A = this chain, B = another copy of it.
Amino acid sequence: METFATKLWKNAPKAALLVAVAAGAMLQGCSNTKGSDATGATASALSSDAATQVYVKPGSHDELYSFLSGGFSGQVSVYGLPSGRLLRNIPVFSQHAENGYGYSEESKAMLNTSHGFVPWDDLHHPKLSRKDGMTDGRWLFVNGNNTPRVARIDLTTFETAEIIELPNSAGNHCSPYPTNNNEYVIAGTRFSVPLDMKGGTKDVSLADYADQFRGSISFIKVDPDKGDMDLDFQILVPGFDYDLANGGKGPSEDWVFFTTYNSEKAGTLKEVGASQNDKDYLAAVNWKLAAQYAREGKAREMPANYYHNKLDKATHTAKSTVKKKVRYLLAEECPGMMYLLPAPKSPHGIDVDPSGEYMVVSGKLASAIPVFSFSKFQNAIKNKQFDGEKNGIPVLKYESVLQAEVKEPGLGPLHTEFDGKGNAYTSMFVSSEVVKWKLSDFKVVDRIPVYYSIGHLMIPGGDTKKPHGKYLLAMNKITKDRYLPTGPELTQSAQLIDISGEKMKLLLDFPTIGEPHYAQAIQASIVAPKSVKIHKLDENRHPYVAKNEASTDVSRKGNVVHVKMTAIRSHLTPDNIEGVQVGDTVYFHVTNLEQDWDVPHGFAIMGANNAETLIMPGATQTLKWIPKKAGVFPFYCTDFCSALHQEMQGYMRVSPKGSNVPIAFYTGKKKPAVVAQK
């Protein structure tokens, strides 16, 4: 089947196409391509077949969890596969009014940074934690791109457990890469910045980009049991842009690889300035050697200022600590630790095959896909097949490390994943297709159009030693006519492709949240059994928990009022509160007394300059409220919890400042109990 894009690719002269790539002209081309992929009788049979393949019968479960980055949504969205159903939107870097994340007193600290409270980020790359190079379903690591951070999501609760800020980074795109046993989560800067060795960046002229700007690679240690992260050290690297990171496995497992672009060090109009050189680099770093250098005294220390936010399980509350120092290595001072492999023009994806022998580098402006050999790379180092050095880092000869080039793969290769059966699949942004090629002879054996402008693709386990090669997910940047129109703003789109046979087969289009960049997937059987259903009330150590209705309380200290409230079907205790005054800071600490799965309660009060708080069984969540007017304000449970949910409601009386209405609170009693003010 030929699409408009593939026809164009076959017929057009290459030079013209490169211009088209640069101008993004192909994107308009997309709108000329008809969305329909199959017509006639055969197609109809195919379609019914596909329907059955993706249909998950009501009450049955999907085979796989897939974790799609939300991109500019800042969150991770969890889809079941093969159905494409959205099982959960996990808030990570963005405020999420739906459950109060980033609004409740317990979660606010998770979004603290050295720049203050940051309510959003751009989340690109989910990476599952690993054991022996295989995903183990314990944690999901993700990057915040704009204000550099790495987060860890706990897959027993599907909650963000931890966020660590990265100093000396700017555009944390080349991130995160967990090594094969989570020894480190490694994160490279996308943008270089003028680092001030006294901390932060320098106030220098932007015209001094080439001389002053540097990149960094962060090495985050991960506690093998708890998953807790800690920034161990950084490597300061040349002032290129670093795009994507992936690591070795098997023979290459000590190594992590980074694509770079802008080795030209252009500081403005990078569209043109960073596309001058015919080759940029794949940067290879021996992370074990780096760790050894850091351990054995090569690391220096510099001032820094970065936040580390962690969810305390016992109180279910995030706490921030501020770190003031960071250790760093200079790449040029650590022999054998870092090498540069020339790679075609502005490479984007770097992907290592399941054996660990091949490094596939997709140059978005290149007309072929180079496949580097890890053993050749090692030999080239031994044999000193160098082509000079760049900023003190040895550059290897292209031919010395190259295994082969995949010829005429399509236009705009971006990313490659593997099926574990000897095949590689590369996404072609410009020609809007997925191209399948063999690792044995590097020949293209199949191609399938995707709609439109695919970025990342994902095969469940496709970056591990043993991919689960049944499905491939294409994540597309352009949607246009694929779904019913929704005005100028459209959802982005994923396509599920069956790769179990010789020919790829399109099964399903499903819309996605935000912009899915990368995704990972794992068999449900690994994650589902460990999923936590409730928080145990007994283990709740929140300082303002009320474990039963008798412990509820309203108390004043100065102009701060703490309300210890409980929620259980179908009432809040207390549900009548008096004695609060205009200008008080009122904290509603609401404990959900339920101990059944899927019985959350919500809490909101009229006029609050805040989101609701959604409280899971056994947990305590706090909503802050500063009343501005005297009068009576209703509050209620916001999550329909029982036949008498509508009745689960109360009132707060607010009196003028200085009023003598005493604090009183009750549920169901006729007379307010007067309580002495503290």
Contact = CB atoms under 8 A, between A and B. Distances in A.
Interface in A107-129: 113-120, 122
Contacts of A22: 570, 643-644
Given A52-B51, A117-B609, A486 B200 contact: no
Contacts of A85: 84, 483, 510-511
Max count, chain B CB within 10 A of own CB: residue among A171, A213, A268? A268
Given A191-B634, A201-B633, 16 more contacts: A35-B58, A59-B481, A65-B484, A86-B513, A95-B119, A99-B489, A115-B609, A146-B605, A156-B487, A171-B606, A171-B634, A193-B631, A203-B655, A207-B671, A268-B668, A275-B644
Contacts of A667: 268-269
A360 interface: no
Contacts of A86: 86, 491, 511, 513
B193 A116 contact: no
A424 to B, nearest CB: 21
7 tightest CB-CB pairs across the interface, nearest first? A24-B642, A201-B631, A35-B59, A115-B607, A51-B55, A269-B668, A94-B97
Interface stretch (A7-15, A326-334, A594-602): A594-602
Contact of A666 (B268, B514, B640): B268
A520 B212 CA distance: 58
B535 A488 contact: yes
A282 to B, nearest CB: 16
A31 interface: yes
Interface stretch (A465-473, A525-533, A537-545): A525-533
Contact of A61 (B241, B483, B508): B483
A495 interface: yes
Interface in A66-107: 70-74, 78, 80, 84-89, 94-99, 103
16 contacts: A48-B52, A48-B55, A58-B507, A58-B509, A70-B98, A87-B484, A95-B95, A113-B607, A157-B487, A206-B577, A206-B578, A207-B672, A261-B647, A455-B640, A487-B532, A487-B533
A560 to B, nearest CB: 20
B515 A275 contact: no
A51 to B, nearest CB: 3
Interface in A583-621: 596-600, 602, 604-612, 614, 616-617, 619
Interface residues of A, number: 197
Interface string A619-630: 100000000111
A656 interface: yes
A598 B644 contact: no
A314 interface: no
Contacts of A50: 55, 57
Nearest to A411: B643
A175 to B, nearest CB: 14
A586 to B, nearest CB: 14
Contacts of A103: 119-120
A26 B569 CA distance: 11
A368 to B, nearest CB: 16
A365 B641 CA distance: 15
Contact of A51 (B51, B71, B158, B532): B51
A252 to B, nearest CB: 26
B484 A607 contact: no
Given A61-B484, A515-B639, A668-B268, A120 B275 contact: no
A49 B572 CA distance: 46
Contacts of A480: 597-598
A429 interface: yes
A203 B631 contact: yes
A433 interface: no
Contacts of A604: 72, 120, 122, 146
A200 B193 CA distance: 54
Contact of A118 (B113, B201, B609): B609
Contacts of A193: 631-632, 634
Contacts of A58: 35, 37, 451, 482, 495, 506-509
A34 B170 CA distance: 51
Contact of A632 (B87, B113, B148, B202): B202
